[in-house]
């Protein structure tokens, strides 16, 4: 279905705006049209704060990770004072990529091209080729320090922002997510033990939608998850969630869920009740369970191309157990199967969209309806007076 000329007219989406029981789903062009995707990039992804990793992934000064957001490579690094900083992964001399590894450690950031070198706080320390022009002590005043990007951590979770404009304060953006989820589930105790990535032929919203409903689990995940009842959470800030209180952990196969690791030490409140399946908008799916945590980060590169980065985490006390590697295999088997099943179905769905007309939202998809309207709120033109 081709996109209409009035692609961003609010009136065209009145059917999506109805109450869930009578609403229609987003038209196909919202998933396949390049102009729509470019508007999403500018209005949704560019202004957003993006979760990138855990504080524990940068255990000491000089440890770093790199990530790509909106086609731009970003360095996140622990400075000498113990804080986290974000920089564009580009030398201020001729623009070469500074750090090519996804994770590592360094005493300083050195450009592989001409050996321009920067301290962990981004200050230019050495600039070969300028010795006759500038004293070493004056290098930091040249205005050629690394280009910073907003970066901060909350309750063990690191976020960055690549907007060219001053971003909404992180605490405003996250709303009650840190106190409601990250703190009770003791995310600051979590250690990422396994990372995977996937490149998919699908649209980023389809993946976000499948994560926010469990109608599909008894069909797509009959053996890996089974029926998984959830309730929609009331949230403040740029996040949405569903909650399951029906089982000790969703991270193991049905029938084996009582054989997992013990609960995370110190969990309280909602963490004692079950599992939060949260999306820190636009695309960071974060599952906090009583015994573990995992995330799926969506990094779209085109309307029908999606890169996902996945991290699997356990409390540091669990990782230290002598039987950790053996017991963790049961978690890995279940996680890998579910990822393969979801990856396959969102590609199948995307292939069928070009021939589709709008459908409906069932009673098990209220958060999908909420998410789709969140997208419309940010992408559409403003209403005329």
- Full-prediction pTM beyond 0.85? yes
Nearest to 98 by CA among 77, 129, 71: 77
Pairing of strands 63-69, 72-78: antiparallel
Stretches where the chain sits below pLDDT 70 are 1, 132-141, 383-385
pLDDT of 282-301, one tens digit each? 999 999 999 999 999 999 99
pLDDT at 385: 39
CATH number of 50-160: 2.102.10.10
Pick the CATH number of 189-376 from 3.40.50.720, 3.40.720.10, 3.90.380.10, 3.30.43.10: 3.90.380.10
Backbone Cα Rg of the chain? 22
256: tokens are: 């084996």
Which residue intervals of the chain bear CATH 2.102.10.10? Answer: 50-160
Residue 136's pLDDT is: 63
Backbone angles phi, psi at 50, to 5 degrees: -115, 125
Rounded Cα–Cα distance for residues 238 and 122 (Å)? 30
Task: Output the pLDDT for position 129.
Answer: 87
Q: What is the pLDDT of residue 27?
A: 96
pLDDT of residue 101: 85
- The C-alpha atoms of residue 72 and residue 85 are separated, in whole angstroms, by 16
Query: What letter would DSSP give residue 62?
Result: T
Strands of the sheet with 63-69, listed across from one edge: 103-105, 63-69, 72-78, 84-88, 148-149
Per DSSP, which regions of the chain are E strands? 50-54, 63-69, 72-78, 84-88, 103-105, 109-110, 117-118, 124-126, 148-149, 151-154, 157-160, 190-200, 231-232, 239-244, 275-280, 284-288, 293-302, 305-315
Please give the structure tokens belonging to residue 220. Answer: 């797509």
CA triplet 296, 258, 244: central angle to 5 degrees?
45
Q: What is the dihedral of CA 311, 317, 320, 326, to 10 degrees?
A: -60
Q: What pLDDT, on a 0 to 100 scale, did the predictor assign at position 143?
A: 80
Q: What is the pLDDT of residue 202?
A: 98
Rounded (10°) CA dihedral 84, 89, 91, 97: 140
SS3 225: coil
Range(s) within the chain of domains with CATH label 3.90.380.10: 189-376
Q: What is the DSSP letter of 28?
A: T
Sequence-distant contacts of 257-261: CB under 8 A, at least 24 apart:
259/330, 260/291, 260/292, 260/327, 260/330, 260/331, 261/291, 261/292, 261/314, 261/318, 261/321, 261/327
């Amino acid at each position: 279905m081709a996109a209409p000329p009035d692609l961003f007219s609010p009136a065209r989406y009145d059917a999506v705006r109805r109450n869930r029981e009578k609403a229609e789903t987003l038209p196909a062009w919202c998933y396949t049209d390049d102009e729509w995707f470019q508007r999403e990039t500018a209005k949704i992804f560019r202004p957003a704060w993006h979760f990138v990793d855990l504080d524990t992934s940068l255990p000491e000064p000089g440890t770093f990770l790199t990530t790509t957001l909106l086609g731009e490579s970003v360095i996140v690094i622990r400075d000498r004072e113990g804080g986290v900083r974000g920089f564009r992964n580009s030398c201020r001399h001729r623009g070469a990529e500074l750090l090519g590894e996804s994770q590592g450690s360094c005493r300083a950031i050195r450009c592989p091209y001409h050996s321009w070198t920067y301290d962990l706080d981004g200050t230019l320390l050495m600039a070969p080729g300028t010795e006759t022009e500038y004293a070493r002590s004056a290098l930091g005043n040249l205005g050629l320090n690394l280009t910073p990007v907003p970066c901060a951590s909350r309750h063990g979770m690191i976020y960055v922002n690549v907007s060219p404009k001053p971003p909404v304060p992180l605490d405003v953006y996250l709303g009650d997510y840190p106190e409601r989820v990250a703190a009770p589930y003791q995310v600051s105790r979590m250690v990422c033990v396994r990372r995977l990535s996937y490149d998919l032929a699908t649209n980023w919203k389809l993946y976000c939608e499948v994560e926010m409903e469990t109608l599909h689990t008894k069909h797509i995940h009959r053996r890996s998850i089974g029926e998984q009842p959830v309730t929609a959470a009331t949230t403040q800030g740029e996040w949405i969630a569903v909650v399951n209180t029906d089982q000790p952990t969703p991270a193991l196969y049905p029938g084996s869920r009582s054989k997992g690791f013990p609960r995370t030490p110190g969990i309280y409140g909602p963490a004692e009740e079950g599992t939060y399946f949260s999306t820190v908008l636009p695309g960071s799916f974060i599952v906090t369970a009583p015994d573990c945590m995992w995330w799926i980060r969506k990094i779209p590169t085109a309307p029908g191309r999606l890169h996902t980065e996945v991290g699997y985490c356990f409390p540091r006390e669990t990782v230290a157990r002598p039987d950790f590697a053996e017991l963790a295999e049961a978690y890995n088997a279940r996680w890998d199967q579910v990822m393969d099943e979801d990856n396959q179905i969102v590609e199948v769905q995307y292939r069928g969209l070009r021939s589709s007309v709008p459908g409906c939202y069932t009673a098990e998809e209220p958060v999908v309806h909420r998410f789709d309207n969140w997208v419309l709120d940010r992408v559409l033109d403003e209403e005329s007076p």
